[in-house]
Amino acid sequence: MSEAGSPKAGKAPKKKAEGGGGGGGKPPDKKAEAKAAKASRNSGPPAGETAHDPNYVPRLKKHYLDVVRPELVKQFGYKNLLQAPRIEKIVLNIGAGEGASDTKKIQSALNDLTAIAGQKGVITRSKKAIAAFKITAGRPVGVKVTLRKDRMYEFLDRLVTTALPRVRDFRGVSGKSFDGKGNYAMGLKEHIVFVEIDYDKTETVWGMDIIFQTSARTDDEAKALLAGFRMPFVI
């Protein structure tokens, strides 16, 4: 056989590229990796929020369902559990007063209210100008936050168990501050009674208004509802 017809010496047969899974070394799919990474990011809580246990029930909410509501049904003779009054929302308000002209004080009040409520508050602004008080339309006059559902019960728990007992010379809250439609309002002279506020870092001591909106039709029903949560009314 001639040299031209013989196989070439010195050339080894080609080897298959080594790869994972024995599939011929297919390069990784970058789109699939990016999609998996995005899914893992979205599986967690949104930015600025903490993970929430779906089975978590606030202590006072459970107390309402197990104790307060049955007692109200028995006391007022409701024929249906849904007729029993309940707290619909709690509104916290801080009026800045003369400090409203200072942007830093408004921001300080907003930060304190957010720490107390566990929910970001909003700045309230005047709807019209009042020359006697040197207030122009749109000027910041305070901050407020509205609590519902679980956060509402959590705040009420902290208010009754820790904040009110820390009030100086505390003898109870007035039982006459109802509006005739089942809603109750109370005030605190110092917001530093809440343990979330560090007294040493507080520049200004603010007063607070706390409003409870209930589904009660009368003041007696609303008072019995709040008393069920151990609200210390003055007898």
Average pLDDT over residues 131-145: 76
179 φ, ψ (degrees, to nearest 5): -95, 5
Q: Is residue 33 part of a domain?
A: no
Question: How many other CB atoms sit within 10 Å of the CB of residue 58?
Answer: 17
Evaluate if residue 80 carries a pLDDT over 80: yes
Q: Is residue 54 part of a domain?
A: no
Q: pLDDT exceeding 70 applies to what percent of the chain?
A: 75
pLDDT in tens, 88-137: 999 999 887 666 667 788 888 889 899 999 899 888 887 777 766 666 67
Domain range for 219 is: 87-228
- CATH code (residue 96): 3.30.1440.10
Q: Is residue 57 part of a domain?
A: no
- 14-23, 93-102, 193-202: least confidently modelled range: 14-23
Q: Is residue 29 part of a domain?
A: no
Burial of 28 (0-12, 13-18, 19+ CB in 10 A): exposed
Evaluate if residue 83 carries a pLDDT over 70: yes
Contacts of 96 (CB under 8 A, 6+ apart): 105, 106, 109, 140, 141, 142, 143, 206
Q: Are 164 and 210 in contact (CB under 8 A)?
A: no
pLDDT in tens, 215-227: 999 999 999 999 9
Q: Is residue 69 part of a domain?
A: no
SS3 222: helix
| Residue 136: predicted pLDDT | 67
Average pLDDT over residues 151-166: 93
Q: What is the domain count for the chain?
A: 1
Evaluate if residue 23 carries a pLDDT over 60: no
Distance CA 6, CA 66 (A): 96
Partners of 72 in the beta sheet?
Answer: none
36, amino acid identity: A
Evaluate if residue 2 carries a pLDDT over 90: no
Please state the pTM of the whole predicted model: 0.72
Distance CA 73, CA 166 (A): 33
Q: Is residue 60 part of a domain?
A: no
Q: Is residue 97 part of a domain?
A: yes
| Closest to 206 (Cα-Cα) out of 121, 89, 149, 136 | 121
Q: Is residue 122 part of a domain?
A: yes
Evaluate if residue 56 carries a pLDDT over 80: yes
SS3 44: coil
Q: pLDDT class for 43, splitting at 50, 70, 90?
A: low
